[in-house]
Amino acid sequence: MAMTGFLTGIAFFLIIEGLVYALAPRLLQDLARILPLLPEHQLRLAGLMAVTAGVGLVYLLRG
């Protein structure tokens, strides 16, 4: 059961990632140009905020 949940999460990630490439390739290219210019601490903070939001959402949904 846990493996099914994990694989479902991977599948949703791939769906969302694929949608970004399919629907907004120019935005993705612009982000690829901007990201190297951002300070490392800002990227790290954004990553930690995304992880926190994801964990919180899973907690709320799984209760």
Q: What is the pLDDT of residues 9-45, one digit of tens each?
A: 899 999 999 999 999 999 999 999 999 999 999 999 9
What counts of helices (H) and strands (E) characterise the chain? 3, 0
Total domains, the chain: 1
Euclidean distance between CA atoms 6 and 4, whole angstroms: 5
Q: What is the pLDDT of residue 3?
A: 87
Task: Tell me the residue range of the domain where 13 lies.
Answer: 2-62
What pLDDT does 2 receive?
76
- Is the full-model pTM beyond 0.75? no
The reported pLDDT for the residue numbered 5 is: 85
CB 20 within 8 A of CB 28: yes
